Amino acid sequence: MKSSEQHKAIKKQSAPSAPKKRNITSREAAMNILTAVEEEGAYSNLLLNQVLKGANLSPADAGLATELVYGTIARRNTLDYFLESYVAKGLKKLTPWVRNLLRLSLYQILYLDRIPDHAAVSEAVNIAKRKGHQGISGMVNGVLRNMLRNLDQLKVPEDLPAVKRIALTHSHPEWLVKRWVAQYGEHTAEAMCRANNEAPPVSVRVNTTMISRDKLMQEMEEAGHIVVPSLISKDGIIVSSGGNMALTSWYKDGMLSVQDESSMLVAEAVEPKPGMTVLDCCAAPGGKTSHIGEKMQDQGSIIANDIHPHKVKLIQDQADRLGLSSIETVCHDALDLDTYYPEASFDRILLDAPCSGFGVIRRKPDLRWAKSPEDVEAISSLQSELLSRAVKLLKPGGILVYSTCTTEPKENDQVVREFLASHPDYAAVPPAESMNEEVKSCVTEEGYGIQILPQKFNSDGFYIARLKRLG
């Protein structure tokens, strides 16, 4: 008979160990995010950051998950068009996670050359087995292998009507393509859609209160980065290699900020001078505000306003990191700023208005599917009201810059045109003298501002108008 100690030892040896937690793969992470975006309306960038923080992924796998999420969202229209012919019961009848598994797998096959087709299919089948049952994994395997056999047939027909062909080829909603064709013509509309599917370059802005652009570029080159000066902003640098610039010592020490080149043009349009008083009406997250502070050599007064307290903190954090003491953050509704400050109290005002965001679709691929024509109507009304309130605070002879990150004329030139028609004591003035000549040439047909389209400089789409108070 075994002793009690022997019984305990045997029991300990035979007791089942706690199941080891399985690490999630990059493709599973992407599938979960895509499903949450579709089912819950989650923001892909926020959810991606949250999931990647919790997942034990290597940098390479985290990069793949990011590519799969943004790429699959961007190409959804095209992927669904091809999948529909191969899913017997129809794509819409599939469980959301299965639909998104097929989408991200086909995205790899069609758009990611570095991933072998068999690896994309094999991993999809493995995920389907783990998450579903034999029938689902069999269906996923059958659909993808059938599509592989017919890859040469996965093409958008050339004889489709222009709007439908562009929408399917470059994966944009038809209503938006139709709108752009009417506004800019077929050729330009297609170039806009094509640019929206290209990865944006990494661009940084030099904090000229700390270091010159030439000196920073020299330091970056010595550290092994490939850099070139921006052609459209005197403060910009394009970084062709080197990873996340926000993780560098230059960023932490306040020598640079990560910012798109088009966005850098806004502070240049403001033309701030040391000693001026400046109001930034909708300032979060603070990139343009801090650029204004840098251009003023941190001499003067900048009021940076936002309606959301947590976003006001972002502005202050930027100012602190960059060593800018001239920036004072406040939290108000921009429509009420004229109740907090006396009329004609600012030399310069920046109204970087809330907008549809059509100029930054390549950075926020969800936007193309989230917006509607009704959104444009609603936002343009708000923009007009914000502009009419803000200008009361401008000194005679002062300049207000109205900017948006959209390509929509109804939110841009039309807002300015209607404002000027009802405010004869204001006038549109030409782009800042210091601006690049090619940028100046982007003036709109109506002549109120400059409209940068995403394909023009391989930068974000932006509108910038300068309004002067006369007298």
Residue 333 has a pLDDT of 97
- Tokens 């929206």: give the residue: 196
What is the C-alpha separation between 283 and 319, in angstroms, rounded?
12
Report DSSP letters for 25-70, one per residue.
Answer: PHHHHHHHHHHHHHHH---HHHHHHHHHHHS---HHHHHHHHHHHH
Residue 22 has a pLDDT of 56
Q: What is the pTM of this model?
A: 0.91
- The token pair at 376 is 């444009």
Residue 132 has a pLDDT of 81
What is the C-alpha separation between 84 and 288, in angstroms, rounded?
44
Q: Could you tell me the CA-to-CA distances from 464 to 273, 357, 413, 444 in Å, in that order? A: 19, 14, 9, 10
- The token pair at 334 is 């921009």
Q: Is the CB of residue 420 less than 8 Å from the CB of residue 426?
A: yes
Q: Which residues of the chain have pLDDT under 50?
A: 1-4, 6-20
- Residues assigned a catalytic role: 405
Give per-residue burial for 92-116: e unless 16+ CB within 10 Å, then b. Answer: eebeebbbbbbbbbbbbbbbeeebe
Residue 453 has a pLDDT of 98
- The token pair at 209 is 């209160």
What is the C-alpha separation between 427 and 468, in angstroms, rounded?
5
Nearest to 423 by CA among 469, 462, 371: 469
As beta bridge partners, residue 228 has 238
Nearest to 199 by CA among 71, 313, 37, 91: 71
What is the C-alpha separation between 226 and 407, in angstroms, rounded?
31
As beta bridge partners, residue 346 has 394
What is the C-alpha separation between 251 and 236, in angstroms, rounded?
14
Residue 158 has a pLDDT of 92
As beta bridge partners, residue 298 has none
